Structure 1
Amino acid sequence: MSLRTRLALPVACYVVLLVSALQTLVVPVVADIQRHLGVSASSASWVVTANLLAAAVFTPMLGRLGDLYGRRPVMLGVLAVVLLGSVLAATTSSLPLLLAGRVAQAASFGLFPLAIGMLREELPAPRLTGAMAVVSGMLSVGAGFGLVVTGLLMRHGGDYHQLFWLSTALTAIGLAGVWLLPRRAGAATGRLDWTGAVLLGLGLVLLILPLEEGNGWGWGSPRVIGSLVAAVVVLAAFVLFERRVTHPLVSPRMLRHRPIVVANAAGLFLGFAMFAVFLATSALVQTPPAVAGYGFGASVLAASLVYLLPGTAGGVITAPLGGRLVARFGAKATLVIAAVLAGLGFTMLALLHSATWEVIVGALAVNSAVTFGYAALPALLIANVEPAETGIANSVNSIARSVGMSLGTAFVVTMVTRNPIPGPVPLPREAQFVTVFAVGAVLAAIAAVVVAWALPKPRPVAFTVEEVETDEVLGAAGLDVPAVPAHR
């Protein structure tokens, strides 16, 4: 095995760690960005939302480009774009330019499927499953790393620009590592669906924008209603266009087949739950109790390390447990368990949030539920689609999860900016956080009922834990999952 091939696993681990670190670096400092730029809370939240929306479009496109032109050159291109975005975000005090930088950083989401695809090309089969499990674990490690670094850099009220300078340095290291990987030609033929990508991106922006800005624009205003109507028209045009394309960004069949629709709705909910609890918890614990009558007045350091880190770090334990649940009880039952656990976590947060341990346990329950759900979705998809369609099905599910994250962000921002407590610094009322958590609990209950009722009776297929963990990694990356052996 050559030196370049030996570098495949450590480089894959590093770039996937970078993906999740870039995701969580800014979550605890949205309020700092708002104060520094002098913008509204809903405008500042686009630092998170723009990144997630762009990721929903970029990820399947970049995976397809990797198939066409080879993983290494596409990964180099992605990292170059992320590097430019990081430098832009680090050097600007303009919200539009900061959002442009965050959109460029969203290209990093494509590194996960590209890294997994690269491992499949470079490593022998006996080493592949273990290697993919290690790389997948870097998602949790990177999320925790991002929170820890944010807390440490901002512990004395530091400048949030430091976070983007750090991401610049981390991206440069990743660029050097990928440069050393072996060169492989692309394995696919065809073309990229640029028109579909533009229609999808425009439709999602038109959908999320009025949900973020509804409080300021007025929910019955022509801008809100016009944007929502335009979103329906553009997304309908996207579906019609995809039916006529040889290599569509999203297969229209994936939007009609009931088990796939249910799995995508579940992915939408799980993405919503993940960022709703992330942002709501961060805002809740940083609220000063002397002014608002609730909250903990936590610093960015405490919000990152005490309240948010346990949920992300717990993924190292809960991810393997999710695989065991799928192997023991099946994908459908595990998804129901995930929805019930999320409901319990949201309910606890709605009713009990006056003590530190209550917030930590509630958020940990929701994050664990998301991890269990993500373990179940790939197994659910491969049981209900043809082997040749698993890559498309998982790619669509990845888009659903990213859209859910955007909707969760928009919902939290809408709620916490409504009817603020009068004062020099507008603060949300406690009831608004309770509403966020209560809606999460209701959606979790609906998800549990829909999954239990709408999904067909599972096929009598027994998965091993190793197979579940492999399918989970490939599914999360939006890649083809091996067919279930015929003797099963």
Structure 2
Amino acid sequence: MTHTTTDQPARRPSGAIVPVLAFAGIVVAVMQTLLVPVIKDLPQLLSTSPSNATWVLTSTLLSGAVATPIMGRLGDLYGKRRMLLASLGVMVVGALISGFTSAVLPMIVGRTLQGFAMGAIPLGIGLMRDMLPRERLGSAMALMSSSIGVGGGLALPAAALVAQNADWHALFFGAAGLGVLSIVLTLLVVPESEARAKGSFDVLGALGLSAGLVLLLLPITKGSDWGWASGTTLALFAAAVVVLLLWGLLELRLSAPLVDLRTTARREVLLTNLASIMVGVSFYVVSLVLPQLLQLPAATGYGLGQSMVVAGLCVAPLGLTMMFTAPVYARLSAKYGPKVTLIMGLLIIGIGYGGGLGLMDAAWQTVITSVVLGAGIGLAYSSLPALIVGAVPASETGAANGLNTLMRSIGTSVSSAVIGMVLANTANHVGGLAIPTLHGFHVSFLIATGAVAIGLVLALFLPKPDRAPQLRASSQEDAGLERAEEVLRVFRGRVLDAGGTPVARAKVTLIDRRGRQAGATLSADDGSYALAVPAEGPYVLAARAAGHGPLASSATHHGDHRPIDLDLSLPGETVSA
């Protein structure tokens, strides 16, 4: 029996699918930045130490880093929309748990569950990739990718307003309400993608990644309390290295791993992912530092003595500027390519942090810092998915984007842990309270500047693509011909109708022996298509176009790097019963 699958949705996606998925990304951002307005008060609110309070933020970022590949893989196996709803549902449960507690351990449990919402980002990108035409995909992915920053910036003043005028637990109930709204909108607007991968879920891979990241971040946050040279700290670092190495070896041996590490072997993907970690670090530093600086009493000599709401409004331009940067990115990327926009973004971030070291004396100065950093982070974040899509074949874009999102999550997790540790260890203790110092803020900005410098060096070594990937729509390059001719191991031919006339913009999907999508493309104006073949073996080529019946054709590639010509003749229009 021939097994065929399709990557078309069960019902036609409406024009609202992109804003609804982007709204899910904004909900994730709100969840991430929820506690930033009250971060300096967390040790008192939870009756715990500053280093323990740091885990209320770090646990969310850490579970998000783990959830990203887990939910992405589950989405491939059981449905992306289904897993998107599950991610949002778990977030709502976590928000409710946190809303009803003031103890640190239940709060960390609730915040850990909230972190699972991070899986919404790659799931949303995957749904867009399955449903949108290529000419809309580039801008839609940029919007989804930058929604984290946009939502985070906009959420700060709103969260501050709630925290200042109501019980701080109301923040969690508000986040739960947004999560429920996102679930309802997704149910109403977003159809399920019928694309399914064959195989099983990599349980060992999920456990290994979770254990490795916890073992790495735990000594970073607690090292100053335990002593950096203590046996416990060194043992945990060593255990993290061992666990992550074993996890990597396991992933390389599996045919359907949780994270496809082979994808990172390409120079373009490796450098982009390493740069993504640095962008993630730089993004989170400003969110942790500026609100605290703004809210500290002026009596400290360096605090700006602003209310929570004013502090949130001063940092809000970070997200607003990211939002307005999206159309600018589209133009710059179209003209110069995503590598140049990434370099420009990193340079602007570096200027923002470098200048920010001398702009800590008044609230208006922090607004300037927020605007500059928002512009740079917006350009950098929007460039990353375009670089990934342009660096890998169509059959690997899902795995590659999931891994890139994981790298950014690791960057924000490490940033939260390191900056939390720096601020806790440079704090002055007055009357049992830990007061962050100006020196701690300066060190935090210097760390961010160093991360940006490393990211800039990595970006400079990226090979320059010809054009932004989203410009390839409706061209032969979009149909995959250029990439396919480079590797030679391809199926190629033309899509024709019953009378032998070429069919333009027909969707051609390559399905491997396990029923997984191995590639997809659109036919060019002359009906031509080409699909790179990831490995030798039997495949099914499924073709469909408006006004024609679907076609599934079996073919085998013997891996001898010779193109196999295969024309696909679509039957006439089908009539539904």
- Aligned equivalent of 1:170: 178
Is 1:93 equivalent to 2:102 in the alignment?
yes
Partners of 1:38 and 1:59 in 2: how far apart? 31
Secondary structure of the equivalent of 1:426? Answer: strand
After superposition, the C-alpha distances for 1:369-392 in whole angstroms (9 at most, x for unaligned) are: 222112222232233333322222
Using a 3 Å threshold, how does the CA distance of structure 1 residues 463 and 262 change in structure 2: closer, same or farther?
closer
After superposition, the C-alpha distances for 1:284-327 in whole angstroms (9 at most, x for unaligned) are: 2222220x210212222122112x10101111111222232222
Is 1:380 equivalent to 2:387 in the alignment?
yes
Using a 3 Å threshold, how does the CA distance of structure 1 residues 137 and 341 change in structure 2: closer, same or farther?
closer
- Aligned equivalent of 1:53: 62
| Equivalent residues in 2 for 1:7-406, closer than 5 Å | 8=17, 11-119=20-128, 138-156=147-165, 158-180=166-188, 182=191, 185-290=194-299, 292-306=300-314, 308-406=315-413
Secondary structure of the equivalent of 1:417? Answer: helix
Partners of 1:219 and 1:83 in 2: how far apart? 37
- Aligned equivalent of 2:421: 414
Is 1:451 equivalent to 2:459 in the alignment?
yes
Structure 1 residue 116 displacement after superposition: 4.1
Partners of 1:183 and 1:432 in 2: how far apart? 48
Structure 1 residue 247 displacement after superposition: 0.9
Structure 1 residue 164 displacement after superposition: 0.7
Partners of 2:362 and 2:129 in 1: how far apart? 47
TM-score when scaled to structure 2?
Answer: 0.75
Using a 3 Å threshold, how does the CA distance of structure 1 residues 142 and 189 change in structure 2: closer, same or farther?
same
Q: Work out whether residues 43 and 50 of structure 2, in 8 Å CA contact, stay in contact via their aligned partners in 1.
A: yes
Any gaps of 5 or more consecutive residues in structure 2?
1-9, 479-516, 531-577
Structure 1 residue 399 displacement after superposition: 0.7
After superposition, the C-alpha distances for 1:105-143 in whole angstroms (9 at most, x for unaligned) are: 112122233334445556677776776676667545532
- Aligned equivalent of 2:7: none
Q: Work out whether residues 69 and 185 of structure 1, in 8 Å CA contact, stay in contact via their aligned partners in 2.
A: no
Using a 3 Å threshold, how does the CA distance of structure 1 residues 48 and 318 change in structure 2: closer, same or farther?
same
Q: Work out whether residues 145 and 385 of structure 2, in 8 Å CA contact, stay in contact via their aligned partners in 1.
A: no
Structure 1 residue 29 displacement after superposition: 1.6
Q: Work out whether residues 276 and 411 of structure 1, in 8 Å CA contact, stay in contact via their aligned partners in 2.
A: no
Using a 3 Å threshold, how does the CA distance of structure 1 residues 386 and 465 change in structure 2: closer, same or farther?
closer
Using a 3 Å threshold, how does the CA distance of structure 1 residues 66 and 419 change in structure 2: closer, same or farther?
closer
Partners of 1:343 and 1:440 in 2: how far apart? 8
Q: Work out whether residues 76 and 196 of structure 2, in 8 Å CA contact, stay in contact via their aligned partners in 1.
A: yes
Partners of 1:255 and 1:196 in 2: how far apart? 17
After superposition, the C-alpha distances for 1:332-375 in whole angstroms (9 at most, x for unaligned) are: 22222222211111111112311222222223322322221122
Using a 3 Å threshold, how does the CA distance of structure 1 residues 374 and 362 change in structure 2: closer, same or farther?
same
Secondary structure of the equivalent of 1:298? Answer: coil
Q: Work out whether residues 427 and 435 of structure 2, in 8 Å CA contact, stay in contact via their aligned partners in 1.
A: yes
Deviates more, 1:85-94 or 1:297-306: 297-306
Secondary structure of the equivalent of 1:450? Answer: helix
Deviates more, 1:183-192 or 1:330-339: 183-192
Partners of 2:149 and 2:187 in 1: how far apart? 25
Q: Work out whether residues 318 and 372 of structure 1, in 8 Å CA contact, stay in contact via their aligned partners in 2.
A: yes
Amino acid at match of 2:93: L
Q: Work out whether residues 274 and 458 of structure 2, in 8 Å CA contact, stay in contact via their aligned partners in 1.
A: no
Structure 1 residue 207 displacement after superposition: 0.9
After superposition, the C-alpha distances for 1:435-472 in whole angstroms (9 at most, x for unaligned) are: 111222233223223322x333x2434656697xxx9x
Partners of 1:43 and 1:241 in 2: how far apart? 33
Q: Work out whether residues 70 and 185 of structure 1, in 8 Å CA contact, stay in contact via their aligned partners in 2.
A: yes
Deviates more, 1:175-184 or 1:404-413: 175-184
Q: 2:444 aligns with which of 427, 436, 439?
A: 436
Using a 3 Å threshold, how does the CA distance of structure 1 residues 368 and 35 change in structure 2: closer, same or farther?
same
Deviates more, 1:230-239 or 1:387-396: 387-396
Q: Work out whether residues 387 and 482 of structure 1, in 8 Å CA contact, stay in contact via their aligned partners in 2.
A: yes
Using a 3 Å threshold, how does the CA distance of structure 1 residues 303 and 226 change in structure 2: closer, same or farther?
same
Structure 1 residue 253 displacement after superposition: 2.0
Amino acid at match of 1:273: S
Using a 3 Å threshold, how does the CA distance of structure 1 residues 311 and 35 change in structure 2: closer, same or farther?
same
Deviates more, 1:265-274 or 1:39-48: 39-48
Q: Work out whether residues 79 and 193 of structure 2, in 8 Å CA contact, stay in contact via their aligned partners in 1.
A: yes
Partners of 1:401 and 1:50 in 2: how far apart? 15
Partners of 2:99 and 2:224 in 1: how far apart? 30
Instruction: State how many pairs are aligned.
Output: 472
Secondary structure of the equivalent of 1:243? Answer: helix
Structure 1 residue 50 displacement after superposition: 0.9
Partners of 1:366 and 1:175 in 2: how far apart? 32
After superposition, the C-alpha distances for 1:392-417 in whole angstroms (9 at most, x for unaligned) are: 22211111100000111112111111
Using a 3 Å threshold, how does the CA distance of structure 1 residues 430 and 361 change in structure 2: closer, same or farther?
same
TM-score when scaled to structure 1?
Answer: 0.88
Q: Work out whether residues 342 and 380 of structure 2, in 8 Å CA contact, stay in contact via their aligned partners in 1.
A: yes
Select the structure that is richer in helix: 1
Secondary structure of the equivalent of 2:316? Answer: helix
Using a 3 Å threshold, how does the CA distance of structure 1 residues 138 and 444 change in structure 2: closer, same or farther?
closer
Using a 3 Å threshold, how does the CA distance of structure 1 residues 243 and 302 change in structure 2: closer, same or farther?
same
Q: Work out whether residues 144 and 309 of structure 1, in 8 Å CA contact, stay in contact via their aligned partners in 2.
A: yes
Using a 3 Å threshold, how does the CA distance of structure 1 residues 359 and 49 change in structure 2: closer, same or farther?
same
Q: 1:427 aligns with which of 417, 421, 435?
A: 435
Using a 3 Å threshold, how does the CA distance of structure 1 residues 180 and 283 change in structure 2: closer, same or farther?
same
Using a 3 Å threshold, how does the CA distance of structure 1 residues 245 and 4 change in structure 2: closer, same or farther?
closer
Select the structure that is richer in strand: 2
Secondary structure of the equivalent of 1:159? Answer: coil
Secondary structure of the equivalent of 1:294? Answer: coil
State percent identity of aligned pairs: 33
After superposition, the C-alpha distances for 1:131-184 in whole angstroms (9 at most, x for unaligned) are: 66766675455324422321211224x322111111222222333333445456
Deviates more, 1:13-22 or 1:209-218: 13-22
Any gaps of 5 or more consecutive residues in structure 1?
472-478
Partners of 1:187 and 1:138 in 2: how far apart? 26
Amino acid at match of 2:71: L
Q: Point out which structure has higher relative CO (alpha carbons under 8 A, 6+ apart).
A: 1
Partners of 2:453 and 2:117 in 1: how far apart? 33
Partners of 1:459 and 1:120 in 2: how far apart? 21
Structure 1 residue 31 displacement after superposition: 2.2
Amino acid at match of 1:302: V
Using a 3 Å threshold, how does the CA distance of structure 1 residues 136 and 200 change in structure 2: closer, same or farther?
closer
Partners of 1:481 and 1:139 in 2: how far apart? 28
